[in-house]
Amino acid sequence: MNKLLLFAIFCLCPFAVAMAQLFPLKQKQVSTRIEQPGRIEFEITNANYQNYIVTGCEKEGLFICHKTEHKDKDGYNWEFIRLDTTLGTVWQKDMHLPFGSRITDYDYQPGFINYLIREKEYKQEELVLLRINLENGDTSRFYINTVIPMVPTQFHVVGNTLLMGVYTDYKPFIFRYNLIDKLPQIIPGLYNDYGEILRITTDDRLRIFTVTMSERMPDFRTTVSVRSFSEGGDMMRNIHLEPDESKSLLNGAPTNPELERQFVAGTYAHQRLTYSSGLYIARLSNSSQQRIDYFDYSELDHFFSYLSTGRERRIRERANQKKVLGQQPRFHYRLLLHDIIPNGNYYTVFGEAYYPSYSFGYHYTHAVVMTFDRLGNFLWDSSFEINDVTTFGARDLVHVGTKGDETVLLYLYDNTIRSKVLKEDKIIEGKTFNDISLTFEDDESWGGRNQVGNLSRWFGTTFYTYGIRDIENLHSEEAAYYRQVFYINKVAYR
């Protein structure tokens, strides 16, 4: 080696050590409030992650469905497993489904798990509902003919009635099918040339369902409508929100109808723009809209907290200057809105801000959380920086749990649980990083960190994470040297 190079290395080494001592690398903080009290593994022989479907069934546990490699001349065997809340197996059973069968959607309702199956891809008017009793595994199959080809975008079951949000000739409507009398029905009053079904929410206790839609107004602005129906399809409430003349309502999530009061929260834009400038809360009575309150993003205390201090200050200064001149500040955000979470006397609405990255998919920037009381009064807001996630399609990423006045936000990326804990709008625990726990002490993830995984809310402040991992263990006699597994971890906030 060149003598001059050796001399330089000799001189620089003490300097590098001294600098490392003065400026150590910042270690990622581990949460002391996030626990992983349970894990279950299923060894697999291939990485076909799509063969596994995990559904949270609240305190009735988790339900797993997957296509096995075992088959006969007519089709494959599928395995169905119910787990309790400790991830112990309650029961499991095999069922045979014909070749070409594909589970297009699924829905949990108290006591049942429901799978919507298409057995023949070229027969889009023929569907099968597989309904499984969670208590004992008893199974019923319902063969449904929709008469005309339909591509469902949403699927739910309330009571003994199947509901599908579908589009035909780009026009939305709700298809209803009663499992007792086996009569199909198109729900009247929803056929709209320029509408979009935002969400269908169900209440099995009251046996009702609510359809929230985005609709075009005569002046080409957009608004949100909320219609509630009995299980039998009779309309109980029909409300079109009426935004201010300068605004469009882009999306909305309703609370469950309670007595005479209901709320819808969502995002709004100026005029006919399709990017949001803020959030709104609409108060509804039995038959009409009472009031809509608007909050542009600069009015929220923490919406821009994901930015650097200087950039946040400049944005707020420009927004204030516009207000002084009598103008409305305009922002351009896409926000992926989740269902509203009730929490005692409060409601929590949240969503992820993202933008399309045409080379890589969708890039997330942060999640925003807003809480209001049961009178519709805004209480506080907060945000959760993301910045490190890009997905091929926009999907729910951050999940929220509430307990009293505390809120926990979590998402999974690179086999690590990122979390943040709030007490109202005050930060109890900033962004932390907890690796996914493995089964044995000497287990090590093998083959890189970018393996398939996901995280979902289960019930309360309990979540579950699942995916595929390649694991090696060189020391334990209990574990194989190498294994590929589909895993589920229970994740709890304490």
In tens, the pLDDT along 395-417 reads 899 999 999 899 999 999 988 99
Q: How confident is the model at residue 23 (pLDDT cuts 50, 70, 90)?
A: very low
Q: CA of 190: how far to CAs of 22, 55, 233, in Å?
A: 66, 30, 12
> For position 15, what pLDDT does the model report?
43
Q: Determine the pLDDT at residue 153.
A: 92
pLDDT of 25 above 80? no
Q: Distance (Å, rounded) from C-alpha 373 to C-alpha 376?
A: 5
149: its two tokens: 């080809």
Q: In 3D, which of 145, 152, 143 has the Cα closest to residue 173?
A: 152
- pLDDT-based confidence at residue 229 (cuts at 50, 70, 90): very high
The mean per-residue pLDDT over the stretch 362-391 comes to 92
Q: What is the pLDDT of residues 2-17, one digit of tens each?
A: 444 333 333 444 444 4
Closest CA to 212 of 178, 186, 184, 250: 250
Task: Give the confidence band of 259 by pLDDT, cuts at 50, 70, 90.
Answer: low
Give the model's pLDDT for residue 19.
41
Q: What is the per-residue pLDDT for 14? A: 47
As a whole number, the mean pLDDT across the chain is: 88
Contact 486, 467 (CB under 8 A): yes
CB atoms within 10 A of CB 461: 21
- Check pLDDT > 90 for residue 161: yes
The pairing of strands 196-203 and 184-186 is unpaired
Amino acid at 173: F
What's the pLDDT score for residue 12? 41
Please tell me which residue, 107 or 152, carries the higher pLDDT value.
107
Q: What is the mean pLDDT of residues 432-446?
A: 90
The three-class DSSP label of residue 17 is helix
Residue 357: strand pairing partners? 361
In the predicted structure, residue 492 carries a pLDDT above the cut 70: yes
Q: What percent of the chain has pLDDT over 70?
A: 91
Count of positions (residues) in the chain: 494
- Mean pLDDT value of segment 306-332: 90
For the chain, helix, strand, coil in percent to 5 are 10, 55, 35
Question: Could you give the CA distance from residue 234 to residue 189 in angstroms, rounded to a whole number?
Answer: 11
Q: Can you tell me the mean pLDDT for 421-440?
A: 94
| pLDDT for the residue numbered 451 | 65
Residue 222 has pLDDT above 60, yes or no: yes
Radius of gyration of the chain (CA): 26
pLDDT of residue 8: 39
Phi, psi of 465 (to 5 degrees): -120, 150
* Tokens describing residue 47: 């990485």
Position 448 scores a pLDDT of 55
Rounded average pLDDT over 379-398: 90
pLDDT per position as a tens digit, 324-363: 988 888 889 999 999 999 998 899 999 999 998 877 789 9
Beta bridge partners of 199: 212
pLDDT, average across residues 264-270? 96
What's the mean pLDDT in 422-439? 94
Mean local confidence (pLDDT), 263-292: 90
Percentage of residues in the chain with pLDDT exceeding 90? 66
**The pLDDT of residue 460 is above 50:** yes
**pLDDT band with cut points at 50, 70 and 90 for residue 24:** very low
Residues 6+ apart with CB under 8 A from 481: 472, 473, 474
